[in-house]
Amino acid sequence: MDHFIYKNGGLCAEDIPLERLADEVGTPFYCYSTATLERHYNVFADAFKGVDALVCFAVKANSNIAVLKTLAQQGAGADVVSSGELKRALVAGVPADRIVFSGVGKTREELADALKAGVMQINVESEPELEALNEVAQSLGVQAPVSIRINPDVDAKTHAKITTGLSENKFGIEWTRAHEVYSRGRDMAGIDLVGVAVPIGSQLTDLTPFKNAYLRMRDLVAMLRSDGHNIRRLDLGGGLGIPYDGSETPSPQAYADVIKDTVGDLNCRIMLEPGRVIAGNAGILVTRVVYVKEGATRTFVIVDAAMNDLMRPSLYEAYHAIVPVAEPSSDAEHTEVDIVGPICETGDTFGAKRPMPTLKAGDLLAVRTAGAYGAVMSGTYNTRPLVPEILIKGDEFTVVRRRQSVDDMLAMEALPDWAD
């Protein structure tokens, strides 16, 4: 469910026609709905009523500070994986004691930043990181609150590039070595072992892998407690998928029921790190048709957005629904077209063989479900400036990231003296 619907013949973001935004801001642009962000957060959080749980939005999914502020006002914490994301969360008003610092390659500087900020928890991914954190914490005269990320060797049954819980993945410590690693951590003066973390991947549309991982975590907690460890937090990560193609996916309530059934009686605080399930349907990418080209075997609709603006179709072969901003008539004839960008790679394709009504240069299209892993993953390939991000609330909008200019890009570069 989202708040991008047709009204009076045109697609609107809440109460604002997208055509108006395109005229005022230019294309392409990202557009986020406050109402959808708030609704999705509250549906997710409400599924855990009666449970000692904290929802920490995965900043990696959408790091715009206006989005983070919107969610923080609803009570969200933050899951961050860099000092940059940590600063964004703090600037957006997320209290440090509601921030979890994750990530497989934290530097000593980042570990120090986390400790100085007073984050609630650091999820440690390896023994070298545990040793480094111990040294950094002692140098600062503090104890670091730590959950060790365990790799449960569970197949998340998702795209290979976003599965994180198999033994061959780079994430976490093998579950069979947990006893040994926790024993080492207990002897470190700068470490306070508070919990266990077990994220297994992203965009999961089957609850079985979650259940398998959490049952393994349950056994692990029992073992660690028998060893004398005071395990009081369980970080379950995120990963709940969304229906990019309209297919049915598990609800937050069904996901919460799995958690309650598997680890709900362990008397631990539950940490949850959803990203996509909150932000995905809350955003769209709006683009304008530049040309319609009749090829030898296909019709190409060439738009002004490109793979540098939305990388998911090129990187993951991901599906995004694409719809015209002008509402088609119910009897409009549709033909199959390829919707492509201007970058000089065949991979710059948003959708192949998509049934669309007749399109012409100047028409607007909306790429749906683009609020997560969209703008946050964008780049400047082909010296294409970053596009604006707009946040809608009712009949009001704000440009929450301005359009970058080529001059902005060039200002970051310099010619060497010898080039004169």
Active site residues: 344
Q: Quick check: helix, strand or coil at residue 156?
A: coil
Contact 284, 325 (CB under 8 A): no
Phi, psi of 356 (to 5 degrees): -140, 150
Contact 48, 272 (CB under 8 A): yes
Question: Cα 60–381–109 angle (5° rounding)?
Answer: 40
CA distances from 184 to 17, 125, 170, 208, 219 (A): 59, 14, 21, 32, 20
Contact 312, 75 (CB under 8 A): no
CA distance 165 to 213: 9
**Crossing angle between the packed helical segments 83-91 and 65-72, to the nearest 10 degrees:** 60
Q: Are strands 121-124 and 322-324 parallel, antiparallel or unpaired?
A: unpaired
Contact 81, 101 (CB under 8 A): yes
- C-alpha Rg value of the chain to the nearest Å: 23
SS3 of 277-331: the string is HHHHHHEEEEEEEEEEEECCCCEEEEECCCCCCCCHHHHHCCCCCEEECECCCCC
CA distance 386 to 66: 17
Contact 120, 269 (CB under 8 A): no
Q: How crowded is residue 239: how many other Cβ atoms within 10 Å of its Cβ? A: 29
CA distance 386 to 401: 9
Count, residues in the chain:
420
